[in-house]
Amino acid sequence: METPPAAATPGVAAGHIRLILSHSTDVFYLEIPTPVIRSNSVRPIKYLRFLGWCIMGILGTVKSDREGLDVADNALLQDQAIYFYVYEALDEDAALKYAVDLAVIKTRSDVSASDSSVHARKEAFKESLVQRDATCIFTSKPAVVCQGTHIIPFSRGDEFNLLVQNRPANPDEDVSTLVEVDDGRNGMLLGADLHMIAELRNVVVLNTPNLVLDVNDVPPHPARTLGRDTEFPDMQRYSLQWLQGDSPQLLLYYPNNTDAAFRRHTHIPRPSPALLHYNYGAAAVKWWGQGQEHLGISNRPTMPRPSVPVPAATGPTRTKRTGNASIPRRGPGNVGGSGSGPQDSEVPLEEEVIDADDVVMFLWAQNPAALERRKLVAEEQKREREERARRMGQWRESVVDV
C-alpha cells in the first residue's frame, strides 16, 4: 500500500517542498523548488533520497514524519509538503572523537593570488582533459574554446585528499589513487561560457546509475548530434542539470538533462562519480540549504582534532585571511594530532565563513564508513607510536648496559 504524501505546511513557500536532513532536529533542511525536482527526475521521492545521500553521506529513506512509514519512490510530490530524510543515527561520542574539525581546515581554503604556477597548472589540466573528452562534453564545441573545469574547486586543493577519504562508500569506484585536485577524474572539458555557469554551480552533473538513482530515473536527454570521434558512454549517464537559473536563452543553449559524450576508444577514466555526488550535494546546500549555522561546524572548541593527511603537492599555496590581511600558512603540519590546533596565530572561529563545501565535507566526515576508516588509522598510528617507544626503550637499555 502506497504511503500518502506529506501534508501541505503553511511554513513552506508555494512551489516548494522542505526536506529536513538532520536526524534529530529540524534545523538543517533544504527548501527546494518543486519544478526543479520534477525536471531533474521522473521519480521525485527517489531524487530527494539522492539529495540526502549526497549531502549526508549516508543512505536513508524519505518519510512524511520521522516515525511513519517510508514514502514510496513512485509517490506523487505534494507542493508545500515537509519530508524527512531519515537514516541510522550516529553515535555522537564516536563522531566527536573521530570527526574532522573543519574550522581548522577552513583556515587554508583560499588560493594565494601570488601563486605564479596556477596558470601553468590550469593549462596542463586542460590538456589532460582534451585527451579524454576531445570537445566540450555537453555541446561538442571544439577544445580551443573550452576550459578545464574542476569538479572539486581548484581553490580547495589542500582539502582534496581528505574529502576523497571521507566519501560515502561505493564499491563500484576505486578512488585509492585519486589524490590530486588536478587529476583528470576531477575535471570536465567545457565550453568557456558553460564553464562559468558550472563554476557558479548553477548547473551540476548527475551521474547514474548510483546507489539511489538509475539511468531511467532521469528524464531522457535532448537530441544531440555528436562528432565522429565522440560517443555516449554505455549503460551510464553524465547528465547536465540546472539547479538555479531561469534564463530561457541559457536553457535553449544548454538544455536540462543533456548527456555528456567522451572521446571514442579511450581508456582514460571519466569524471569520478564520488566527486560529482559531492559537488551535487554542495550545490544543493548552496542554493537551497537552511540552518547550516546550527550544525556546530565552526564552534566546536573542545573537539579532538586528528591529523589531516593532506599531501603538500595536492593544491595551490594557501593563505589564512583575517580581514584585509593574508597570513601565509606554514603547510599541512599546522594541523596537529588529538587536542592540537593550528600552531600559528589564530583567527577567531566566528570570523570564518562556513560555505556549502564545508557543510558537505563536514557531514561526509561523520558518516559511519568515514568514522571507521579514521578509527582504524588512529589505531594503526597508536601501534606505531608504541612500537617506536618499545624500540627506544630497548636502545636505552643497550646503552646503559654498555
Residue environment code for 299-334, b if the CB has 16+ CB neighbours within 10 A, otherwise e? ebeebebbbbebeeebbbbbbbbeeeeeeebeebeb
User: Is the previous residue joined to 273 through a cis bond, with omega within 30 degrees of 0?
Assistant: no
- Among 148-157, 166-175, 233-242, 313-322, top mean pLDDT goes to 233-242
SS3 helix, strand, coil % of the chain, rounded to 5? Answer: 40, 15, 45
pLDDT confidence band for 397 (50 / 70 / 90) = confident
pLDDT tens readout for residues 107-133:
544 444 445 677 788 899 999 999 999
Ordered domains of the chain (ranges, CATH):
16-89 (3.10.20), 90-366 (no CATH)
| β pairing state of 230-231 and 262-263 | antiparallel
| Range in 72-81, 175-184, 378-387 with the lowest mean pLDDT | 378-387
Arithmetic mean of pLDDT, 363-383: 76
In a 3-state reduction of DSSP, which class is residue 153?
Answer: coil
Task: Give, as one character, the DSSP assignment of residue 374.
Answer: H
The per-residue pLDDT for 315 is 45
Residue 146 clears pLDDT 60, i.e. is over it: yes
Percent of the chain with pLDDT over 70: 74
Beta carbons of 77 and 12 less than 8 angstroms apart: no
The amino acid at 194: L
The per-residue pLDDT for 93 is 53
User: In this predicted model, which residue has the larger pLDDT, 99 or 168?
Assistant: 168
What DSSP string runs through 272-298?
A: -HHHHHHHHHHHHHHHHEE-GGGG-SS
Residue 382 clears pLDDT 90, i.e. is over it: no
**In terms of DSSP H, where are the helices of 242-332?**
248-253, 273-288
Cell of 255: 538544455
Cell of 277: 555526488
Residue environment code for 130-165, b if the CB has 16+ CB neighbours within 10 A, otherwise e? bebbbbbbbbebebeebbbbbbbbbbbbbbbbbbbb
Beta-strand (E) ranges in 165-272? 187-191, 203-208, 230-231, 237-242, 258-259, 262-263
Residue 79 clears pLDDT 50, i.e. is over it: yes
The per-residue pLDDT for 369 is 73
Gap between the terminal Cα atoms of the chain: 82
CA angle 297, 300, 302 (to 5 degrees): 155
Global pTM reads: 0.79
Cell of 283: 550545490
pLDDT tens readout for residues 244-286:
987 888 988 999 999 999 999 889 999 999 999 999 999 999 9
Is residue 209 left, alpha or beta, with left meaning phi > 0 and alpha meaning psi from -120 to 50? beta
**Euclidean distance between CA atoms 6 and 63, whole angstroms:** 8
Arithmetic mean of pLDDT, 57-86: 92
* Bridge partners of residue 61, in order along the sequence: 86
- Among 86-95, 188-197, 242-251, 367-376, top mean pLDDT goes to 188-197
Residue recorded with cell 504524501: 5
pLDDT confidence band for 233 (50 / 70 / 90) = very high
The per-residue pLDDT for 347 is 37
How many other CB atoms are there within 10 angstroms of residue 44's CB atom? 25
How many other CB atoms are there within 10 angstroms of residue 123's CB atom? 12
Q: What integer best gives the mean pLDDT of the chain?
A: 79
Radius of gyration, CA atoms only, the chain: 23
Task: Give, as one character, the DSSP assignment of residue 343.
Answer: S
pLDDT tens readout for residues 148-200:
999 998 888 777 887 887 777 777 888 888 989 999 999 999 999 999 999 99
The per-residue pLDDT for 322 is 34
Taking CA atoms, 364 is separated from 20, 125, 254, 277, in Å, by 17, 27, 31, 11
pLDDT confidence band for 318 (50 / 70 / 90) = very low
- Among 35-39, 111-115, 293-297, top mean pLDDT goes to 35-39
